Amino acid sequence: MAKSQMKDVLNALIRGRKLTALGCFELTGSLRMSAKAHEIERLHGVKLIKKDIKGKTRYGSPFTCTEYSMSRTDAAKVKERLKNRYK
């Protein structure tokens, strides 16, 4: 069975990885991290931790991106739910 982008993102968050759009692109080839985060929250009933990252590009222009992560309790909840689903 082929893995989907959503499963890759969900597994990365469960393992404690923090993802931005660029991290999502490196993992799945998709820049739509915010859509995947929203879908995970909706499907699994958890609240992802969102942190705004501000910085400057190499040309000095300001940028903002969002970093997504999952709390340990939510990760355990989702992991257990997935384990029970596929029994």
Residue 24: what pLDDT? 93
Residue 2: what pLDDT? 43
The position carrying tokens 């705004």 is 52
Residue 69: what pLDDT? 96
The three-state (H, E, C) secondary structure of 21-71, written as one string: HHHHHHHHCCCCHHHHHHHHHHHHCCCCEEEEEEEECCCCCEEEEEEEECC
CATH no. for residue 45? 1.10.10
**Total number of domains constituting the chain:** 1
Q: Yes or no: say if 36 and 20 are a contact pair by the CB < 8 Å rule.
A: no
Residue 3: what pLDDT? 65
Q: Which of 83, 74, 20, 8 is nearest to 44 (CA)?
A: 74
Residue 74: what pLDDT? 93
- Per the structure, the complete domain to which residue 75 belongs is given by 5-85
What is the rounded CA–CA span in Å between residue 64 and residue 83?
36
Over the chain (87 residues), the average pLDDT of each successive run of 10 is 77 94 92 92 93 95 96 92 76
Residue 83: what pLDDT? 83
